Structure formats: structure tokens, C-alpha cells
């Protein structure tokens, strides 16, 4: 028999006044996202597992959607309550005023996570919350909302942890990694949010040349260019989840967009250099860079081991080398990584180097990593690592 629900703690309408917000991110990126939110001067920023909590009103969470580079979504808390079973889960969700955030005839999607709870089947959790939303809306005379996928008018996030349910509005809609610039998908591309994290963790100043020896479809180059030009990544997409809510303020959104447009700066003389031995990947990189507004780049069909940096360039190498899962066997990757480490020490003295690779393969580079941030790239346990390649002995100052 299901336990009776505790009385839900219903928040005020987050589309009107301040509310508790949560920006999600991939595990390991919480410190980077925390710094981003601090830079945006969001109130009450607090790092948590899987993301960063902050407090804000509509202008704040609109700005977060527009500017955050490493976030997955921006969630606005509606309610929290205890639920050990189906009835309590349903009853708590039924108390939310879903009619405030769903237009008549609108569509709904619910996504759920559960850990250490009696309600451990996420599909069931999603279905019961959908039932509550539909029943609440139809009992008030509105048409029955349809349940759809990615393009739903109202997306709801349910987080169940130790039998405590948190229901939130998903203000982002499609994941924030979907910037709007990706014209060519490429082969197993790095996610935009991981690429943005690598740019920030590298310490690149946005002025020195940026070099990706395995550029693929150009993800790192695009995210680097967005960072260097202070371009809010959300400027490149035309839709966010909050735009479908009845209380959406187009005037407020336009104000935030105009402020972001005014903050952009030109790329100037900053060089973006991309290499790949496959011509089709170079064509994809060029298409994506052009779609993002960066057509003046240096893309070359060239093996990474044949490239030579210019002395005194002080460039930043930023790359996602092949792992062996996608290309060849692990033994081949170990040999490749050893060659790359030796090659970069020979031709890129004094350059910064940041890359992402499986943890167990990192020693093959033969480099002393000054920074190592554990992350997942897909299902693989990886790390974002950084170092400064040593200067040549001839460039060293006298003792």
C-alpha cells in the first residue's frame, strides 16, 4: 500500500518572481559551471553534484540559458515532497498548477531520474506525473494535452532521491549543447559542452593561435571562437523551452538578447588552425565554422604528426585525439600517443596543451600533466588534462 504524501512545498510561480534554479552539467564540470554562474553574478550560487544551484527571476534564468557554455539545462523548482509509492507521487504532482505553464492544446514531456528510492523505475515515474498533469489540466476544462518528445511546449523534470521528489520546469527545452551552429554532424563528435569546458580549463587567452590537430567537424574550434569573441552560445539558436509558456515576456527576452549582442567582440587577428587527415572532416569543420559566423580560418588536410608549429607563436593546442574505440586498436593508440607526445615536444615548445583522452591511455604521451579533470565522454572514463610544453633548451634564459 502506498504511503500518503507529505504536503508538497509549492514554490511561487518561477515565471514571475525569484525561484530556486538548477543548472545541470556533466559529472566533473561542476567547478567550471560554478565559475560561469559567478561570472554572470547570479544570486546564491552553490555547487552541487551534477550541477549548480542559484536563485533568480525570469531575467536571470533567461540570461543563464543564453550564456552558459557548460550547462545541460536550466531547471526551475516547482515543488518538493516525499513519495514512497504511486499514489503519493501522483497526488504531489496533482497539486501543481500546471495550467499556469501550459497553453490550451499544448504538449507535455516528463523526464525523470531516480536514486536510492522506492520509486526506482523512471519510466513509471514519468508516466504517473504525466497522468497528474493531464488530469489537473482537463479537470479545469482545458483540452487534453498530448505527450510528445523533444519539441514539447512544457518539459518537466522529476528528480527522486531517497524518496523525496523534486519537480522542476525545464526552461531550456532542447539541451543547451544544441547551440544551433552544427551544420555537419561529423563522426562521433565531442559534445559542445565538453568542448567549452576544455577551452575554459586550458587558460587560453583568446588571442594566441588556437590549434586542433584532430579537428574533425570543428567543435573545439567553434567553441574556442565563441569564447574568444565573447559570443553567448544561446544567440545562435532560435528556441528555448520558456518561449512556449503562457507568461513568456518577449520584451524581457529581447532585452537580454540585445545585451548579449552588444557584448560580442570581433575575432580580430586570432588564428584558428584545424588539421585532419580526412578531407571530408575538414569540409565539415569549414561548414560548421561558417554556420557559426567564423569563415576566416586555417584548415588543412594534414596528419597531426606532420604539422610543425612556429617558434615563438605561444599557441594553444586543444584537441580530442582518437581513442581506439572509434579508430583502430588500443595498442595502435598507445603508439600514436607516444609519437604525438614526442612530436609536440619537438615542434611546439612553449605552447599550451589541453586534450581529452581515456585515463588509462594518458601515460603514453610521456608528458607531466599539470591539471587533470575526470569526465565522461559518452560512456568512456576520460580526463581533460593540461600542461605547458617545455621550451627548447636554446630558448631558455641563462642561469
- Closest among 65, 235, 237, 30 to 155, alpha carbons compared: 65
Instruction: Express each pLDDT in 37-62 by its tens digit.
Output: 999 999 999 999 999 999 999 999 99
Has residue 198 got a pLDDT over 50? Answer: yes
Q: Does 186 reside within a domain?
A: no
| pLDDT attached to residue 158 | 98
Query: What's the CA gap between 37 and 31, in Å, rounded?
Result: 10
Run of H or E including 300: strand 298-301
Mean pLDDT of 134-153: 87
**Taking the model in full, what pTM does it have?**
0.91
What's the pLDDT score for residue 395?
45
Mean pLDDT, residues 209-215: 97
Q: For residue 1, is pLDDT > 50?
A: no
The size of the chain, in residues, is 399
State the Cα torsion 121-73-169-47 to the nearest 10°. Answer: 90
Tell me how far apart the terminal alpha carbons of the chain are, to the nearest angstrom.
79
- Write the pLDDT tens digit of every residue in 77-125: 999 999 999 999 999 999 999 999 999 889 999 999 999 999 999 999 9
Tell me if 182 is assigned to some domain.
no
Q: Considering the domain boundaries, does residue 253 fall inside one?
A: no
56 and 120: one domain?
yes
Per-residue confidence (pLDDT) for residue 332, from 0 to 100 = 84
107-115 and 51-56 strand pairing: unpaired
81: phi then psi, degrees, rounded to nearest 5: -160, 165
CB 48 within 8 A of CB 27: no
Whether residue 245 lies inside any domain: the answer is no
217, 184 Cβ separation under 8 angstroms: yes
24 inside domain? yes
Among candidate residues 390, 395, 314, 394, the one with its CA nearest the CA of residue 346 = 390
Based on the fold, state whether residues 110 and 225 are members of the same structural domain: no
Q: What's residue 142's pLDDT?
A: 84
How far from chain centre, in Å, is Cα 291?
A: 19
Q: Is residue 1 part of a domain?
A: no
By C-alpha distance, which of 29, 198, 170 is closest to 113? Answer: 170
In this predicted structure, the answer to whether residue 398 has a pLDDT above a threshold of 60 is: no
Model confidence at 396: pLDDT above 50:
no
Whether residue 6 is predicted with pLDDT greater than 90 in this model: the reply is: no
| Model confidence pLDDT, tens digit, residues 261-282 | 999 999 999 999 999 999 999 9
The H helix count followed by the E strand count for the chain is 9, 16
pLDDT tier, 312 (very low <50, low <70, confident <90, very high otherwise): confident
**pLDDT for 239:** 94
Q: 10 Å Cβ neighbour count for 27?
A: 11
d(CA 359, CA 229): 32
Can you give the CATH number for the domain in which 379 is found? 3.40.50.150
Domain count, the chain: 2
pLDDT at 183 exceeding the cut of 80: yes
191: left (phi over 0), alpha (psi -120 to 50) or beta: beta
pLDDT of the residue at 327:
47
Contact 320, 340 (CB under 8 A): no
The pLDDT assigned to 151 comes to 83
- 328 contacts 321 by C-beta, under 8 angstroms: no
Higher model confidence: residue 225 or residue 311? 225
What does the DSSP assignment read for 22-44?
Answer: EEE--TT-HHHHHHHHHHTT-TT
The pLDDT value given to residue 224: 98
pLDDT > 70: percent of the chain:
92
Residue 364 in domain: yes
pLDDT score for 141: 84
Instruction: Region of 282 please: left (phi>0), alpha (psi -120 to 50) or beta.
Output: alpha
C-beta neighbour count of 319 within 10 angstroms: 23
User: Does residue 96 form part of some domain?
Assistant: yes
d(CA 30, CA 328): 33
Please report which confidence band the pLDDT of residue 4 belongs to, taking 50, 70 and 90 as the band edges.
very low
The C-alpha cell at 369 is 600533466
User: Is the distance from CB of 350 to CB of 389 less than 8 angstroms?
Assistant: yes
Q: Are residues 27 and 157 in the same domain?
A: yes
Q: Are residues 76 and 225 in the same domain?
A: no
Residues 102 and 166 in one domain: yes
Same domain, 340 and 273: yes
The position carrying cell 559534445 is: 191
Query: pLDDT tens across 242-256, in order?
Result: 999 998 999 999 999
Alpha helix segments (H runs only) across the chain: 30-39, 58-67, 86-94, 122-139, 192-202, 219-228, 250-263, 279-291, 330-347
Same domain, 29 and 136: yes
> Do 297 and 220 share a domain, yes or no?
yes
Q: Are residues 279 and 339 in the same domain?
A: yes
**Domain limits for position 278:** 192-230+265-395
DSSP H/E element including 48: strand 46-48
Output the domain CATH number for residue 33: 3.30.2130.30
Q: 223, 155 in Cβ contact below 8 A? A: no
pLDDT exceeds 70 at position 9: no
Q: How confident is the model at residue 295 (pLDDT cuts 50, 70, 90)?
A: confident
Do 272 and 149 reside in the same domain of the chain? no
Q: What is the mean pLDDT of the chain?
A: 91
Choose among 254, 237, 238: nearest CA to 58: 254
Average pLDDT over residues 147-175: 93
Same domain, yes or no, for 18 and 136? Answer: yes
Does one domain contain both 125 and 210? no
Amino acid at each position: 500500500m502506498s504511503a500518503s504524501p507529505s504536503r508538497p512545498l509549492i514554490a511561487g510561480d518561477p515565471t514571475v518572481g525569484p525561484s530556486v534554479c538548477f543548472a545541470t552539467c556533466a559529472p566533473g564540470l561542476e567547478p567550471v559551471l560554478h565559475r560561469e554562474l559567478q561570472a554572470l553574478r547570479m544570486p546564491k550560487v552553490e555547487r552541487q553534484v551534477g550541477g549548480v544551484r542559484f536563485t533568480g527571476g525570469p531575467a536571470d534564468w533567461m540570461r543563464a540559458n543564453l550564456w552558459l557554455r557548460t550547462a545541460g539545462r536550466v531547471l526551475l523548482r516547482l515543488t518538493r515532497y516525499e513519495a514512497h509509492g504511486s499514489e503519493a507521487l501522483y497526488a504531489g504532482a496533482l497539486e501543481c498548477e500546471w495550467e499556469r505553464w501550459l497553453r490550451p492544446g499544448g504538449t507535455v514531456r516528463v523526464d525523470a531520474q531516480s536514486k536510492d528510492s522506492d520509486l526506482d523505475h523512471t519510466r513509471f515515474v514519468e508516466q504517473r506525473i504525466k497522468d497528474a498533469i493531464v488530469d489537473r489540466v482537463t479537470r479545469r476544462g482545458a483540452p487534453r494535452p498530448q505527450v510528445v518528445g523533444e519539441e514539447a511546449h512544457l518539459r518537466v523534470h522529476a528528480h527522486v532521491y531517497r524518496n523525496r521528489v523534486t519537480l522542476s520546469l525545464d526552461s531550456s527545452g532542447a539541451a543547451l549543447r544544441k547551440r544551433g551552429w552544427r551544420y555537419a554532424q561529423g563522426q562521433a563528435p565531442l559534445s559542445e559542452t565538453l568542448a567549452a569546458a576544455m577551452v575554459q580549463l586550458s587558460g587560453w587567452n583568446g588571442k594566441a593561435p588556437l590549434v586542433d590537430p584532430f579537428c574533425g567537424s570543428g567543435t573545439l574550434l567553434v567553441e574556442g571562437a565563441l569564447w574568444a569573441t565573447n559570443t553567448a552560445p544561446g544567440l545562435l539558436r532560435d528556441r528555448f523551452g520558456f518561449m512556449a509558456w503562457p507568461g513568456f515576456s518577449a520584451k524581457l527576452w529581447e532585452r537580454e538578447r540585445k545585451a548579449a549582442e552588444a557584448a560580442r567582440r570581433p575575432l580580430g587577428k586570432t588564428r584558428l588552425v584545424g588539421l585532419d587527415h580526412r578531407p571530408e572532416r575538414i569540409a565539415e569543420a569549414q561548414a560548421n565554422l561558417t554556420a557559426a559566423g567564423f569563415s576566416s580560418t586555417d584548415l588543412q588536410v594534414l596528419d597531426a604528426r606532420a604539422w610543425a608549429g612556429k617558434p615563438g607563436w605561444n599557441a594553444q593546442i586543444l584537441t580530442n585525439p582518437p581513442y581506439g574505440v572509434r579508430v583502430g586498436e588500443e595498442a595502435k593508440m598507445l603508439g600514436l600517443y607516444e609519437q604525438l607526445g614526442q612530436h609536440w615536444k619537438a615542434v611546439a615548445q612553449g605552447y599550451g596543451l589541453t586534450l581529452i583522452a581515456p585515463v588509462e591511455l594518458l601515460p603514453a604521451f610521456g608528458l607531466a600533466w599539470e591539471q587533470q579533470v575526470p569526465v565522461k565522454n559518452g560512456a568512456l572514463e576520460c580526463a581533460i588534462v593540461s600542461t605547458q610544453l617545455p621550451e627548447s633548451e636554446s630558448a631558455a634564459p641563462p642561469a
